[in-house]
Structure 1
């Protein structure tokens, strides 16, 4: 029967794979409309397929949902994670940086971060789902500069870091993401609210979404809108009450997040100068 036939696999030599990975990385950067040789080199170096699990791999349909790939061809599996390339460019990882990756999944972007931080840096890959964390642990086992932590991302990092990369939508930043960011440290996170119609399987996607870059300076936290970004919403310790959901929803509907310039943390906000005021934090139009 046709369904019993083994999945066809395209075999490449090591040299051919290197060319394929370089072309993939170049396409990712072009789609992201950003130019960063170090990020392009990281995408070209990390073998994405070891983070995908066993085939058959899934591919997104244009009309929504997923379908299995017809083969375990590495060219088809690469995809185009251009949004992450853009966000990583904003994170500006330097050699030697200590980085917290919150919502690490199977560890692919943890590996990209590890390439950017170099052997003198370190990546704390935090993933709450035990199965995903186990997959990441196996896939990242040979990277001495990565620690995989099976924990709620709202509780990490537990030490000061230079950069924090959040890979799920949140309605507010977690306390450690702000308070354990070193001076000059950068935080990139997707701000968003869950849709009311939870899908039968998988996570709950955001109904509004915006990626933000936060940088800790001497006088406070500079904030900048990066662009629209929709991620699966957080579980665990980052739930908010109905009043804050209503206030953040109203802020998204009003618009204007692109004019935000600062994040206030545990500071009294100026009424009329903020895009959104949450519990002990706010996004404001004034400079730091």
Structure 2
């Protein structure tokens, strides 16, 4: 799987995916697979089916899934968690990728897994109870982390990064999150997902926040404080319409020259300029 997404030479990540049993985190069969905006039941109850590159429903009435292993392998490779680091997983669901993060940071590291939905947070706490280096929190992802972190991994779509993610990212720390234009609210178990979206990796450097594009990404949309305003949705949609999302190189705070920006937010922006070293 790692080779299929261009990841090589990462035995720690390969070992984490090989060791953590996905079936522990997706509930008992029959499982539902997300496909084409809806869900279909998997006819087999053999856990081997869960090791295909598929999205498995966690809360289908809200469109919440255990996401694509290939995408997460690609993103976790880019996040590059290291032994002993403090990681924060925001939008943890039932804890599968939290467990993989816990394996990557090791016994000397720590993972805080944050989940907005109380039922999913309770499942994550039960699923991760045997991992002493994981703390599960039920809360709004906009409020976390509350202490400095080396890695912040966000698994829902937002129209802006939360202030806490940027403020508490340590020097050399990495943040990955999906930026996305919310689609319409759906019924019949589809939830609300981004219509257009991209994943970004942010690294805090001495001169600011360096950005790299991780490709297109379509996640369930944020609830709570990060759901965004109509004006933010429209501004992000216009930015995607203009193109150039893949050429963003820095995240700026405060004001910046408009002609070099891909997206201007309230007190922040995404720019084509490289971060000064």
Post-superposition shift, 1:239? Answer: 2.7
Tell me if structure 1 keeps the 8 A contact 2:175–2:201: yes
The match for 2:60 is: none
Once residues 152 and 268 of structure 1 are traced to their aligned partners in structure 2, the CA distance between those partners, rounded to angstroms, is: 28
Once residues 247 and 271 of structure 2 are traced to their aligned partners in structure 1, the CA distance between those partners, rounded to angstroms, is: 8
The match for 1:132 is: 120
Q: Which structure has greater strand proportion?
A: 2
Post-superposition shift, 1:32? Answer: 1.7
CA RMSD of aligned residues (A): 1.2
Tell me if structure 1 keeps the 8 A contact 2:25–2:127: yes
The match for 1:141 is: 129
Q: Does 1:68 align with 2:24?
A: no
1:282 paired residue among 257, 269, 273: 269
Tell me if structure 1 keeps the 8 A contact 2:37–2:190: no
Deviates more, 1:71-80 or 1:251-260: 71-80
1:53 paired residue among 23, 27, 47: 27
Q: Does 1:269 align with 2:256?
A: yes
Once residues 138 and 43 of structure 2 are traced to their aligned partners in structure 1, the CA distance between those partners, rounded to angstroms, is: 33
Once residues 188 and 267 of structure 2 are traced to their aligned partners in structure 1, the CA distance between those partners, rounded to angstroms, is: 34
Post-superposition shift, 1:106? Answer: 0.4
Once residues 281 and 176 of structure 1 are traced to their aligned partners in structure 2, the CA distance between those partners, rounded to angstroms, is: 13
Instruction: Say which SS state the counterpart of residue 104 (structure 1) adopts.
Output: coil
Q: How does 1:26-45 map to 2 (within 5 A)?
A: 28-35=1-8, 36-45=10-19
Uncovered stretches (5+) of structure 1, i.e. residues with no partner = 1-27
The match for 2:162 is: 174
Once residues 30 and 111 of structure 1 are traced to their aligned partners in structure 2, the CA distance between those partners, rounded to angstroms, is: 21
Post-superposition shift, 1:57? Answer: 1.2
Once residues 38 and 6 of structure 2 are traced to their aligned partners in structure 1, the CA distance between those partners, rounded to angstroms, is: 26
Compare relative contact order (CA 8 Å, sep 6+) and give the higher one, 1 or 2: 2
1:96 paired residue among 59, 75, 84: 84
Once residues 109 and 17 of structure 2 are traced to their aligned partners in structure 1, the CA distance between those partners, rounded to angstroms, is: 18
1:84 paired residue among 72, 94, 103: 72
Instruction: Say which SS state the counterpart of residue 159 (structure 2) adopts.
Output: coil
The match for 1:238 is: 226
**TM-score relative to the length of structure 2:** 0.91
Post-superposition shift, 1:74? Answer: 1.2
Once residues 246 and 64 of structure 1 are traced to their aligned partners in structure 2, the CA distance between those partners, rounded to angstroms, is: 23
Instruction: Say which SS state the counterpart of residue 175 (structure 2) adopts.
Output: strand
Closer/same/farther in 2, CA of residues 200 and 60 from structure 1, 3 Å limit: closer
Post-superposition shift, 1:79? Answer: 2.6
| Bigger Cα Rg | 1
Q: Encode CA deviations 1:29-70: one digit per residue, 9 max, x unaligned.
A: 133221122111100000110101121111244x54222222
Post-superposition shift, 1:286? Answer: 0.7
